[in-house]
Amino acid sequence: MGTIKKGLIAAALLTSALVSTSANALFGSSNDELKLGYLVKQPEEAWFQTEWAFADKAGAKYHFETLKMAVPDGEKTLNAIDTLAASGAKGFVICTPDPKLGPAIMAKAKSYGLKVITVDDQFINAKGKPMTDVPLIMMAASEIGYRQGQELYKEMLHRKWDVNTTAVMAITADELDTARRRVDGSIKALKEAGFPVERIYRVPTKSNDIPGAFDAGNSMLVQHPEVKQWLIVGMNDNTVLGGVRATEGQGFTKDNVIGIGINGVGAINELSKSKATGFYGSLLPSPDVHGFKSIEMLYHWVKDGVEPPKMTQVKDVVLITRDNFRAELDKKGLGNLVKK
Ligand code: GLA
């Protein structure tokens, strides 16, 4: 072999060594350990932090490394997939920042041969239809929403409020299917229980966070100064918290507001406050199961070729309030989330 050729091979080897060294430096692991990504749209939410923590538990059990990445928008999502491929990952679990990114995410993942499992929010295609061929693990949205409506009604009866001076503030996010189904389920339960349809008011939020829901709630409150008591419906804890904060701004308190969130883990700070607020409680599903099971299914798919089911719905849910939240979180192994 000529000296020049030998030199080229050496240079090529050196380059690839450098690439893998920098990947190791970036992700801090040995090259032979399997790597799987876990990409979430809103890492600031306790829900997604819990999923990550349980994905790590699955990694410890099966000896793979979970590369946890925040993907708040489309550009970051597509970049994250490039980074995953460069690091040698074999697939990823994702809660997309926008369901419409589904086709672009799948095209990029396929170009690298990466396997994909979606969690929480389902992809939709260019025609706006759900991409049912991509495996999905999510909460049973309509059922859990329905439970929210039932619990709100029950608590209203318990307080013996006059239904004629009570209204429902339903903060919606209809472009997100799971949100639409939860809120519709909740309203269905309220109607079936006998709550007057004409006082169920819907208002869309501009963003799925507390400030967005706060603005939505405020715009509704100014339109209905006649209402004496409010029941607050929303797709998750932050949405309902935003609504509750808006009522407080208008002088409402725990005595004339009942808000029940969904997620549970996003309600811990509120329920831990020394004084009760209008945020009565939250429905706690299973972020632990979502986090563990989604990446466990991905692991078996990559490692053993076991294809995951196209749809896994997690139905278990428990109402947590100031009275029982510590005990219920403990039961799920989430007690460490509560500040002692
Ligand atoms: C959506 C919401 C999250 C959480 C998950 C649970 O992604 O934005 O707050 O409720 O669903 O599936």
Q: How far apart are CA 311 and CA 69, in angstroms?
A: 23
- What pLDDT is attached to residue 23? 42
Protein residue whose Cα sits closest to atom 1 of ligand 1: 120
* Nearest atom, ligand 1, residue 42 CA: 8
Distance 155 CA to ligand 1 centre (A): 24
* Residue of minimum CA distance from atom 12 in ligand 1: 120
Quick one: DSSP state of residue 283?
A: E
210: closest CA among 164, 167, 171, 163? 171
Predicted pLDDT of residue 19: 34
Write the DSSP symbol of residue 108: H
> For residue 95, which atom of ligand 1 is closest to its CA?
7
Residues 296/308, Cβ–Cβ less than 8 Å: no
3-state secondary structure of 177: helix
- Quote the pLDDT of residue 25: 40
Question: Cα(48)–Cα(288) distance, rounded to whole angstroms?
Answer: 10
State the closest ligand 1 atom to the C-alpha of 121, by its place in the atom list counted from 1: 7
**Dihedral, 201, 143, 129, 170 alpha carbons, nearest 10:** 10
Q: Mutation test of ligand 1: which of 40, 120, 137, 172 has the most ligand atoms closer than 8 Å to its C-beta?
A: 120
> From residue 207, how far is each of 42, 186, 238, 279, 281 by CA, in Å?
12, 20, 10, 20, 22
| Pocket of ligand 1 from Cβ distances under 6 Å | 45, 47, 95, 120-121, 138-139, 178, 208, 236, 263
Atom nearest to 139 CA in ligand 1: 12
Q: Two tokens at 221?
A: 């409150």
Which atom of ligand 1 is the closest one to the Cα of 266? Answer: 9
pLDDT of 215: 98
172 C-alpha to ligand 1 centroid (Å)? 13
Tell me the C-alpha distance between 164 and 332, whole Å: 39
237, 171 in Cβ contact below 8 A? no
Question: What is the distance in A from the centroid of ligand 1 to the CA of 111?
Answer: 28
Q: Supply 145's token pair.
A: 């929403």
Please write the tens of the pLDDT for every residue from 50-89: 999 999 999 999 999 999 999 999 999 999 999 999 999 9
Inter-residue contact 245 to 264 (CB < 8 Å): no
Tell me the pLDDT tens digit for each residue of 270-289.
999 999 999 999 999 999 99
- At 14 the pLDDT is 35
The protein residue whose alpha carbon is closest to atom 2 in ligand 1 is 236
- Separation of CA 140 and ligand 1 centre (Å): 11
pLDDT for res 16 = 34
Ligand 1 pocket mutation, candidates 41, 71, 235, criterion most atoms within 8 A of CB:
235
Ligand 1 atom nearest to CA at 138? 12
Q: How far is the CA of 200 from the centre of ligand 1 (A)?
A: 23
Nearest atom (ligand 1) to Cα of 263: 10
pLDDT, averaged in runs of 10, over the chain (340 residues): 39 35 44 89 97 98 98 98 98 98 98 98 97 98 98 98 98 97 98 98 98 98 98 98 98 98 98 98 97 98 98 96 97 89
Q: How far is the CA of 300 from the centre of ligand 1 (A)?
A: 25
User: Using CA positions, which residue lies closest to atom 11 of ligand 1?
Assistant: 120
